[in-house]
Amino acid sequence: MKDYRALHINAADGSSELRKVDDPRVMGPVDYAWRLGDQGRKHTTIGSGPIAGSFVPGSNRLVVCGWSPLVDSFFPSTMGGAGLPWDGIGANYVAISGKAAQPCVLEIYNVKGKLGVTVEPIDVETVWKGHGDQHGVYALMHRVYEEHGAQWNAARVLCVGPAAARTRAGAIASAPIKGGKISHVDTWAGRGGLGSRLLREHNIAAICFGGDYEDVDLTDRKLVDGMFAEKFGKPLKMVDLEKTTKYRFDPKFKTGGTFGSNYHNLRELVLLFNYKSVLLGDEERLALWKRLIEAHYVKQFDEEIVAEKKNFNCGEPCGAVCKKVHGEFKKDYEPYQTMGPLTGIFDQRAAEELNRYADACGFDGIQIGGELAWLMECMKEGWLGADVTGIADKPEWDTATLDPVTSSAHNASIGKRLIRWMLEDPRAAAAREGIRTAARTLGGAAAQAAVYNANGDEHGCMVPNQYWVPGVYAPMPIMGRYYIDYGYDWKPPRELGKKCADRMVQELMIDNYGMCRFHRGWAETLLPEIVNDFFGQKLDTTAHHLAIAREISADYRARPWETERVLDIIATYLIHARAAGCKDEGLSGWIDRFQKDKQAAGLAYWQEIHDGVSEKLKG
């Protein structure tokens, strides 16, 4: 067992204590957060994986865990690269409890053998309004680095934005610091609203950390290359390059990154206009993809980024170079999908404007994009009027007249104004609580157009990942992460539930070991062996993470699909699966059931997935 250490910090008085971790069940940051025994309700934890600081690409993610104010459950959220400098503070994990009297900056540094912790107040509202030419999280990141980190060469700054103060969907942002300057390659612990938790539960607006502490790291490249050669017949570097082709450059589509690869591959399956595209025929959707996405949105991306090789990593040495950047704008598929085609935006300039604004406000891009798409449909249909929003304009979503440049700019402008409305207007109180609460408040047809997964009986919700498959709507104990099977091939719903449970166990291992899932092509099979060899142990990694998955699932409060739009997404997926060639009689039976009684079929389908998950996790 590794000699793990945890730094406990009380934000209320700034006191801290470095503790040895004696629990043999703790192998990583998710383990540690869960084993504190409060389900993340009292503590917010931050930590890196067991081989952080090593040369193994992808092994340096930073993992934040706590009780999600958005989903209302225990939740792990991760960001790339930040685990590498975290290794220098001399503690594997930090556990924050208590609440400061006002918003503060938490400094954690370990320089020349001295571990220091300070908690200092900051007028965060003033900083968010502007620092230099930056606003929101970017202003705070620069201000904190200049005033709290530059003098001791802080390695990284984590911070939150106005969304954390006013909504449940606040994210935690960071960016690599190179040559004393904060780069444009921002990384996010976005899903789950843990930025909102950090600020509202602890009054911590930013964390500045770094140090020169040297841990015992994995350094034996020859040993690891030998393990790769035995498993794959090639050394680590070659295997990793092959397994991360999609994220770097895929010669099949002559593009790269999640943005380029997904938009080239998904074609008519791309979700448009708050998911209303699922009600269109295949030919009409394909025509829209060709005109708006292939010929413009992704063409811009390929010409401006892929052709120019504007590829970066998240802050650790990694050949995937998955960060695709144009100027100050980093392009990933899902935020540029929810604040892109899902909101009627098909132009890079318009998408950049809206995404950057949402990022500066500190939102989880997927969550805010999904809520914006729904609010925009409500405006277009007259369910949400200017008397409430103060916005007289309506989205330009008519496909016959939609111009990819001018209509996109118009829709992005509405999106920005809606964000301001959500953050500042008293009439947006329900929207600040999340899409589920807002849908209940509007009611009627507006509520039926909302798309989310529901957890518990109150506000718990999550905008799903952006794929037109039942797996992203699976009732999981942890929602919104890739703890699911999101393949497009149809599976009977109970089998799908079991597959999702299997994926939860594997993805928990990836998170708990501080690994980037983009490397899962080799990591799921070989990472456990690497960790076991490094620590001289024989841990059954699958059994270990199945056990923690079962414990987490004891608080299993996923609720059936609540809106007609979600049922339409499932029903039309089934029809598309049959048209794509699936001849399974079970599929045809489900299609018939949805056509006869959509509500009853939807509940039965959800229950089958739920039961499959439960059977696999509860044993």
Residue 368: phi and psi, rounded to 5, are -70, -35
User: Please, are residues 259 and 541 in contact by the beta-carbon 8 Å criterion?
Assistant: no
Q: Evaluate the CA torsion angle 90, 92, 98, 99 in order and state its sign.
A: positive
The residues with which 209 forms a beta bridge, in sequence order, are: 108, 156
pLDDT at residue 253, as a whole number: 80
The label of the residue with tokens 């111009």 reads 403
Reduce the DSSP state of residue 256 to 3 states and report it.
coil
Structure tokens belonging to residue 189: 């612990």
User: Please, are residues 336 and 113 in contact by the beta-carbon 8 Å criterion?
Assistant: no
Give dist(CA 253, CA 274) in Å, integer.
Answer: 27
124-133, long-range: CB within 8 Å, 24+ apart, which pairs?
A: 124/165, 124/205, 125/165, 128/161, 128/162
> What predicted TM-score, i.e. pTM, was given to this entire model?
0.96
pLDDT at residue 309, as a whole number: 86
Domains of the chain (ranges; CATH) run 5-211 (3.60.9.10), 244-436 (1.10.569), 493-618 (no CATH)
- Please give the sequence-ordered ranges of beta strands (E in DSSP) within 300-426, or none if there are none: 311-312, 323-326, 329-331
Structure tokens belonging to residue 64: 């934040």
pLDDT at residue 219, as a whole number: 84
Q: Over the chain (619 residues), what is each successive 10-residue block's mean pLDDT?
A: 89 97 95 95 97 90 98 97 90 98 97 94 98 97 91 86 99 93 93 98 98 86 91 92 87 88 96 98 97 98 91 81 88 97 99 98 99 99 98 97 98 99 98 98 98 97 98 98 97 98 98 92 93 92 97 94 99 97 96 98 99 92
pLDDT at residue 311, as a whole number: 86
pLDDT at residue 217, as a whole number: 81
Give dist(CA 215, CA 487) in Å, integer.
Answer: 40
pLDDT at residue 180, as a whole number: 87
Radius of gyration of the chain (CA): 23
The residues with which 208 forms a beta bridge, in sequence order, are: 107, 157
Structure tokens belonging to residue 18: 């470095």
Which candidate, 318, 333, 104, places its Cα nearest to that of 198? 104
User: Please, are residues 297 and 404 in contact by the beta-carbon 8 Å criterion?
Assistant: yes
Reduce the DSSP state of residue 426 to 3 states and report it.
helix
Q: DSSP letter for 175, please.
A: -
Structure tokens belonging to residue 164: 């954390």
Task: Report, in this order, helix, strand and coil percent for the chain, each rounded to 5.
Answer: 50, 15, 35
User: Please, are residues 438 and 447 in contact by the beta-carbon 8 Å criterion?
Assistant: no
